[in-house]
Amino acid sequence: MTLDLDESVAQAMEADVRLLPLLPELLADLWELGTSADQVVAALESVGVEPDSTVLDLACGKGAVAVALAEQMGVRVEGIDAFQPFLQAARALATERGVSHRCRFEQGDIRNLLGQDEQYDVALLLSVGPVLGDYEQTVAGLRSLVRAGGFIVIEDGFLADGVAHLPSAEGYAGHSETLRRLTAWGDVVAQEVICPAEQARSVNRRNTDLIRQRARLVRASHPAFEQLIDEYVARQERETQILGTDVLCAIWVLRRA
């Protein structure tokens, strides 16, 4: 069953769709929604992405990565996101950092872009989850947007050694199987950045604490949503428990064949 746009956004944000109007408040203290902009910049610099390269940031969120790439690498970034409040924040950030001429943020369903035979130098899909399907399906779709020799960047995770199956992380596999799936279409892993486990745990604990603190304020001003807010915070806490332990986070840069 294909999710509608709001349901797809809610799935990516691990929230009940009824909570979408309150997500800007709940996430007000977070700019990086899951992926370190500095790590993405470093990964793309390491594979030789040049100034004025064209970058497509799918599900760009509040624009933290897009703006950092434009500011630090001089690339041109087009960010697509379905959630208008995040796009407004992204545009404001680009203006604040003086790179609005290198960034364009538009609302759209990233699923509708696949197969359009675009020729970007780089396509990013960071901390979005299985919105485009499993790893093989995701890479197949992203390949249509990137020129031969360009780069596909995916940030997600794989099961730690000794973890064969995790009900709360269906679809994840061990490291070697994950790499097989990512390269099933003949592309090459040009760079892999595995986030140190303790660093991942520390970042997620900090972010969860910020969400928990903000949730107390939002709950007080929107008492009718109290249960949904509590469920959302609980999901964030459960994710914090598995990231960096059972599931390890990584950024993969694939050179498109």
In a domain, 211, yes or no: no
Which structural domain range is residue 102 located in? 5-199+240-255
Residue 206 counted as domain residue = no
CATH number of 46's domain: 3.40.50.150
Task: In whole angstroms, give the CA distance from residue 28 to residue 214.
Answer: 8
Tokens of 154: 């995916």
* Nearest CA-CA partner of 21 in 74, 80, 83, 113: 83
Per-residue pLDDT band for 45 (boundaries 50, 70, 90) equals very high
pLDDT digits (tens, 9 = 90+) for 201-217: 888 889 999 999 999 99
The answer to whether position 205 is within a domain reads: no
Sheet holding 247-255, edge to edge: 103-107, 76-81, 54-58, 120-126, 146-159, 247-255, 188-194
Cα–Cα distances in Å, from 136 out to 130, 177, 181, 192? Answer: 11, 11, 5, 17
- If one counts every other C-beta atom within 10 angstroms of the C-beta of residue 153, the result is 27
Closest C-alpha among 230, 158, 229 to residue 200: 158
Number of domains in the chain: 1
- Decide if 250 contacts 39 (C-beta within 8 A): no
The pLDDT value recorded for residue 1 is 53
User: What mean pLDDT do residues 65-72 have?
Assistant: 98
Residue 40 lies in a domain: yes
Report the predicted TM-score, pTM, of the whole model to 2 decimal places.
0.94
The answer as to whether 179 is a domain residue is yes
For residue 209, tell me if it sits in a domain: no
